Amino acid sequence: MSKPLLVVVGDTLLDRDVDGEVHRIAPDAPAPVLDERAVRERPGGAGLAALLAAGSADCDVALVTALAADADGAALSEMLTAAGVTTYALPLPGATPQKIRLRARGQVLLRLDRGGAAQPPGDAPDGLLDVLGTATAILVSDYGRGVAAHPAVRAALEKASAPIVWDPHPNGPPPVPGVALVTPNLAEAVKVTGDAAHGTTLSTAQRTGHRLKDRWRARAVAVTCGSDGAVLCQAGPTPLVVPAGADAGEADTCGAGDRFAAAAALSLAGGSLVSEAVQDAVAAATSYVRTGGVTAALARPAAEPAVAAPGGTTAGEERIGADAAGRLAAEVRERNGVVVATGGCFDLLHTGHLATLRAARQLGDCLIVCLNSDDSVRGLKGPDRPLNSQADRARLLAALDCVDAVVVFDEPTPEAVLSWLRPDVWVKGGDYADGGPTLPEAELVKRWNGQTVIVPYLDGRSTTQTIAAARVAATTNSGR
Distance CA 5, CA 8 (A): 10
- Residue 414 burial by CB count (10 A; 0-12/13-18/19+): exposed, middle or buried? buried
Closest CA to 191 of 168, 175, 214: 168
Amino acid (1-letter code) at residue 364: G
Closest CA to 354 of 401, 423, 413: 401
Strand partners, 33: 24
SS (HEC) of 273-337: CHHHHHHHHHHHHHHHHHCCHHHHHHCCCCCCCCCECCCCCEHHHCCECHHHHHHHHHHHHHCCC
Catalytic residues: 258
